[in-house]
Amino acid sequence: MGNRETLAVFVKELKVVVREKRLLAILIMQPIILITVFGYAFSGEIKNVPAVIIDDDSSVASKQIISAISSTEILDLRYFAATTSEAVEMIKRGDIQVAIHIPEGFANDVLNKGKIEVFVDESNFNVAITALNLIERISSSLSRELNGGISVEQRYIFTTKTRMIDFIAPAIIGVVIQMLGLILSASSIAREREEGTLELIMATPLRSVDLIAGKFLAITGIIVVDIFNVMLISHYLFNVEVRGSILLLFAVQLLFLTGSIGLGLAISAVSATQLQGIQASMLMAIVSIFLSGFFYPLESMPEIARLIAYFIPLTYANIAFRNIMIKGNGLDVVYPYVGVLVFYTLLTTLLATRLLRRKISTGGGS
């Protein structure tokens, strides 16, 4: 493989895409819009978080705290529980996310060192922090009023619950990789064919491996920017966490990206125009989104849909991403899905090289 030739194709490809302002805008904005829209739709503003109070003190001071809390919109005091263990159970079941325990003798202690226990659902970090901040604020204003001191003790409850956005964010990355990978690669070969440059470069000693390698690298470079955007936004704006290895996640993302680019190149080799290539890719992407378990886990899909889903590579990418991001699993767990993706990637890249070489050698020029 010629490094210099590959590099020349890589540089050229990047310049061409960057100078096509409309394409570039789509490439950069689409993932950002996707994650932001889904993020706001499925993580929601922190408001009316279901909470429970365990008031073992029943004093004027504890009533004051309870009324201060209920006067805000952040927590929704739905229940009163008798014991903390009952409250913790409720959190684990997912009925509530926050429990506030005011221990017996709080009113007496408040003048020197009264304490409030706050139990929060750790899986929903954003909510937990907001609730804790609220209670800290209320306690300290009350402390000032009473010339005393209240300390807030935080207790994290570990649950296996996930928010919708935790479930969807990994799939958004999958969709972005597949959709943009397909579109970029399909249009890149087709553009060259329409402008006649494909014929011209095929008349040079440039080998098709170098051409494909250069295009692969350029498209990968662009989509890696998209992946980072989505990951950063979902982390910093919507508190989506990667519990497993970031490196493993990135490696699987690159693997799936390679497969998608391969598929895009293969599609563009058999489609006559740039538009046709993009349309075919879009169709692929949309079908994949609906049938790959984007919104619902595979297990809750109808049987026929599930059967189809097993033939969609995005399904395996989503499962792998979710396992790594939500459950923190390693390669020991996700290897079957990664295996399927390796197979997919080998298949599509081989197909692309084959089809492109044949396409080129049998002309198909105007």
Ligand X SMILES: Nc1ncnc2c1ncn2[C@@H]1O[C@H](COP(=O)(O)OP(=O)(O)O)[C@@H](O)[C@H]1O
Is position 3 an interface residue for other proteins (rule: CB under 8 A)? no
Is position 161 an interface residue for other proteins (rule: CB under 8 A)? no
Name residues whose C-beta falls within 8 Å of residue 289's C-beta, 6 or more positions apart in sequence. 175, 314
CB of 365 to ligand X, least distance (A): 6
Q: Could you give the angle at the alpha carbon of 14 between the alpha carbons of 269 and 349, nearest 5°?
A: 35
Q: Identify which of 282, 211, 192, 237 has the alpha carbon closest to the alpha carbon of residue 32.
A: 237
Q: Which does 347 bind (CB under 5 to 8 A by kind): ligand X, other proteins, none?
A: none
> Chain centroid to CA 118: how far?
30
Residues 45-84 touching ligand X, rule: CB under 6 A, are none
Residue type for 273, please?
T
Residue 37 near residue 63 (C-beta atoms within 8 A): no
User: Bridge-partner residues for 246, per DSSP?
Assistant: none
Distance CA 224, CA 6 (A): 19
Distance CA 245, CA 340 (A): 20
Structure tokens at 101: 């325990």
Is position 2 an interface residue for other proteins (rule: CB under 8 A)? yes
Residues 304-363 touching ligand X, rule: CB under 6 A, are 363
Of 196-204, 264-272, 310-318, 335-343: span binding other proteins (CB under 8 A): 196-204
Nearer to ligand X, 300 or 366 (CB): 366
Is position 330 an interface residue for other proteins (rule: CB under 8 A)? no
Nearer to other proteins, 10 or 294 (CB): 10
Nearer to other proteins, 83 or 361 (CB): 361
Is position 365 an interface residue for ligand X (rule: CB under 6 A)? yes
The single residue listed with the structure tokens 């390669």 is: 331
Is position 196 an interface residue for ligand X (rule: CB under 6 A)? no
**Sign of the alpha-carbon torsion through 334, 125, 170, 298:** positive
Is position 354 an interface residue for other proteins (rule: CB under 8 A)? no
Number of residues located near other proteins, criterion CB under 8 A: 31
Number of residues located near ligand X, criterion CB under 6 A: 2
Of the candidates 93, 144, 196, 246, which one interacts with other proteins according to CB under 8 A? Answer: 196
CB of 188 to ligand X, least distance (A): 22
Nearer to ligand X, 50 or 364 (CB): 364
Nearer to ligand X, 272 or 307 (CB): 272
Q: Which whole-number Å values give the CA distances from 66 to 55, 71, 88, 115, 146, in the listed order?
A: 9, 9, 19, 14, 16
Nearer to ligand X, 147 or 362 (CB): 362
Q: Which whole-number Å values give the CA distances from 97 to 43, 85, 131, 181, in the listed order?
A: 14, 14, 9, 39
Q: Which does 195 bind (CB under 5 to 8 A by kind): ligand X, other proteins, none?
A: other proteins
Distance CA 181, CA 292 (A): 17
Nearer to ligand X, 29 or 272 (CB): 272
Name residues whose C-beta falls within 8 Å of residue 31's C-beta, 6 or more positions apart in sequence. 172, 176, 180, 226, 227, 229, 230
Q: What is the 3-state secondary structure (H, E, C) of 186-246?
A: HHHHHHHHHHCHHHHHHCCCCCHHHHHHHHHHHHHHHHHHHHHHHHHHHHHCCCCCCCCCH
Of the candidates 71, 147, 300, 366, which one interacts with other proteins according to CB under 8 A? Answer: 366
Q: Which does 352 bind (CB under 5 to 8 A by kind): ligand X, other proteins, none?
A: none
Of the candidates 197, 246, 330, 339, which one interacts with other proteins according to CB under 8 A? Answer: 197
Q: Which does 265 bind (CB under 5 to 8 A by kind): other proteins, ligand X, none?
A: none
Of 100-108, 140-148, 194-202, 312-320: span binding other proteins (CB under 8 A): 194-202
Distance CA 14, CA 278 (A): 19
Distance CA 285, CA 359 (A): 24
Chain contacts with other proteins (rule: CB under 8 A): 2, 4-5, 7-9, 11-12, 15-16, 19-20, 195-197, 199-207, 210, 360-363, 365-366
Chain contacts with ligand X (rule: CB under 6 A): 363, 365
